Structure 1
Amino acid sequence: MSNADPPHSRRIVVLISGSGTNLQALIDAQNTPSLPNASISLVLSNRKAAYGLTRAANANPPIRTAYLGLQPYLKANPGKTRNDYDAEVARFVVREKPDLIVLAGWMHIMGDDFLDIVNGEKATEGEKVEKPIPVINLHPALPGAFDGAHAIERAYEAFQKGEITHSGAMVHRVVKEVDRGEPVLVREVEIKPGEPIEVFEERLHKTEWQIIVEGTRKVLDEVAPVS
């Protein structure tokens, strides 16, 4: 396989912040029956030390990477704001002309400018995207439960208090309300009485690795069916 995308390959951009285990699931699945005619064209991180960048560089063929951190961006651009940063992230992504954007452990809440640009509601560099680019996110909780950060820890604590009987993970569409977009795929994950949080977390992560691939394929098949 060459570094060039195969003919008619469906293009994915992945945004990460950390170790990239969910990214690895996508790397392993691209151009297989699990994710046919699909390749990751760019991995963008907001953290320079994110090991996911190394995973992308070590892929076969290597996947291009980029780094754009909020604080370095603001320092290098006096007078710019967090919204300007979000718009710059959108510019990076839109240049790739992806069929789908996947947030796989992206620990930064996007402002309106990012979605306005990828949805084609706002121009960037004088141009609007021709059609909205869908954005999906992986979140380690069930719809409407434990939005935002530390969802796994909060679910585990709620189980210990008898407030919930199980948790789960979902892939959902990204909208302007945090973790409130329409679910694409939802999977329940059991919490067993007496088990350490690390054991529950490992089981939940294995579920995440499955559904991020399944959810990516589902949305790609909607917007860019395999011909």
Structure 2
Amino acid sequence: MLASGRGSNLQALLDAQADGTLAPAEIVLALCNRPGAPALDRARAAGVEALCIDHQGFPDRRGFEDAMLAALAERGVEAVVLAGFMRILSGHFLQNFPARVINTHPSLLPAFPGLDAPAQALAHGVKVTGCTVHFVDAGVDTGPIIAQASVPVLDDDDAGSLHRRIQAQEHALLPEVTRTLATGALLCEGRRVRRRPPG
């Protein structure tokens, strides 16, 4: 799990691991790029190894990503879940985990990519928004879509209230997709993602 901040999505995954609903996926490392981020404390409290690799300690993105890749390889990591990780990953990183890096975003992509998606949704006056779990590519929220959940926009919503309701859906959807990824059941063909047929 890669995180940068509070780690609420990470907590949803940790909770799923604790109650057995994340299996066969297993969180072996929570890696954060910001020293002191609450996500690190959440992982430690759940008995999961927490590691900080500060991106500011490297002269370029390649060095930072190489340090992350080394840490992941050392622990035998097979897939990566971004849980509030606020750095764009390059093709150099992603080629080590083909179709095995996923992220969640608080909109129904391709609508409202990037920062402040709930505020973007309100500014555009949409009636329905939601969250998306997608494979990560080298763009910003542009990877193939795996799953989505919708959230109605209420007349009295502000960005904060809308985001909280979207997060509730993210906290359910991300563990479900993580579990499915771990079973090997996700098949990505171009931009289309489907479940492999049984057997």
Instruction: Output one character per residue of 1:104-155: Cα deviation in whole Å (capped at 9) or x when no partner.
Output: 0000111222112x23xxxxxxxxxxxx471100111112111122222212
Give, in whole Å, the separation in 2 of the partners of 1:50 and 1:193: 34
Alignment-derived partner of residue 87 in structure 2 = 108
2:104 alignment partner, SS class: strand
RMSD of aligned Cα (Å): 1.8
Could you tell me how far apart the structure 2 residues matched to 1:93 and 1:146 are? 31
- The runs of 5 or more residues in structure 2 that have no matched partner are 187-199
Which amino acid is 1:153 matched to?
Answer: A
Matches within 5 A, 1:1-227: 14-30=1-17, 32-59=19-46, 62-74=47-59, 81-116=60-95, 118-119=96-97, 132=98, 134-159=100-125, 164-222=126-184
Contact kept, 8 Å, 1:20 with 1:105, in 2: the verdict is yes
Secondary structure at 1:212 match in 2: helix
- Give the Cα separation in 1 of the matches to 2:108 and 2:169: 12
Q: Encode CA deviations 1:66-108: one digit per residue, 9 max, x unaligned.
A: 111111233xxxxxx2222223222222222223210000001
| AA at the equivalent of 1:139 | H
Q: Work out the CA distance in 2 between the residues paired with 1:40 and 1:137.
A: 15
Counting matched residue pairs gives 186
Q: Structure 1 vs Structure 2: percent identity of aligned residues?
A: 32
Q: Which residue of 1 aligns with 2:189?
A: none
Structure 1: runs of 5 or more not aligned: 1-13, 75-80, 120-131
Contact 1:101 1:133 in 2 (8 A): no
Amino acid at match of 2:166: L
Aligned-partner SS, 1:187? strand
TM-score computed with the length of structure 1 as normaliser = 0.76
- Contact kept, 8 Å, 1:98 with 1:133, in 2: the verdict is no
The secondary structure found in structure 2 opposite 1:219 is: helix
How many angstroms does 1:31 deviate by? 5.7
1:93 to 1:152, Cα distance in 2 relative to 1, 3 A: farther
* Larger Rg belongs to: 1
Question: Partners of 1:143 and 1:216 in 2: how far apart?
Answer: 18
Q: TM-score, normalised by structure 2?
A: 0.86
Flag the 1:133–1:192 CA change in 2: closer, same or farther, 3 A: closer
